[in-house]
Amino acid sequence: MARRVRIQTEDFDLAHEVAALQAGDHGVGAITTFTGTVRGGAVSEMEIEHYPGMTEAAIDAMIDAAMQRFGIRAAQVVHRIGRLRPGEQIVFVGVAATHRGVAFQACEFLIDYLKTQAPFWKKETTAEGARWVDAREADDAALQRWGIPSVNG
């Protein structure tokens, strides 16, 4: 299988990622994707920092957990770092499976997991200046639905 985790400053192309998830596997009957984007409003810019090495390993372990738990056929996570503007894509999670049920579940599981366990930090710039984004307890609750304890926020 191709590399399942990419951390990059460049943008990503949804159609390309979806095609790669399916490539060469005719057992795939369902592909689900999640794309996170920068919300505008008061925010004029967002900067994303990560912990090189740990980030890739942590997400790779999450994909292993999703493979085992849901029996999916392939998964890909792309997360951007650096400076991003409102409307830009931040994160892609794609899952290929035999049927849609597990594809939906595994996609949600992976983004819930990533939000509270992968070492990324966002800093938002508004008219009042730049500030680090606070973690949300709701994100911990989202992961706890899957029976995984989380005390991030």
Partner 1 sequence: MKIQVRYFASLREALGATETVELAPGSTLGALREQLLARGGRHAEVLARARPVRCALNQVMSDETAAVPDGAEVAFFPPVTGG
Yes or no: say if 51 and 110 are a contact pair by the CB < 8 Å rule: no
For position 91 contacting partner 1 by CB under 8 A, the verdict is yes
* Given 22, 30, 36, 86, the residue binding partner 1 (CB under 8 A): 36
* Given 17, 28, 32, 79, the residue binding partner 1 (CB under 8 A): 79
**Residue 95 is inside which H or E element, if any?**
strand 89-97
Q: How many residues bind partner 1 (CB under 8 A)?
A: 29
What gap in Å lies between CA 151 and CA 9, rounded to an integer? Answer: 29
For position 107 contacting partner 1 by CB under 8 A, the verdict is no
Taking alpha carbons only, the member of 97, 94, 61 closest to residue 78 is 94
> Which phi and psi angles does 16 have, rounded to 5°?
-65, -45
Q: Which one, 14 or 132, has the nearer CB to partner 1?
A: 132
Rounded to a whole number of angstroms, the minimum distance from the CB of residue 116 to partner 1 is 7
Strand-pairing partners, residue 30, are 97
Q: Which of residues 108-127 bind partner 1 (CB under 8 A)?
A: 111, 114-123
For position 48 contacting partner 1 by CB under 8 A, the verdict is yes
Rounded to a whole number of angstroms, the minimum distance from the CB of residue 123 to partner 1 is 7
Yes or no: say if 29 and 99 are a contact pair by the CB < 8 Å rule: yes
The DSSP symbol for 152 reads -
**Of the listed pieces 13-21, 49-57, 64-72, 99-107, which binds partner 1 according to CB under 8 A?**
49-57
Strand-pairing partners, residue 74, are 96
**Which residues contact partner 1 (rule: CB under 8 A)?**
36, 48-51, 53-54, 57-58, 79, 90-91, 111, 114-123, 132-135, 152-153
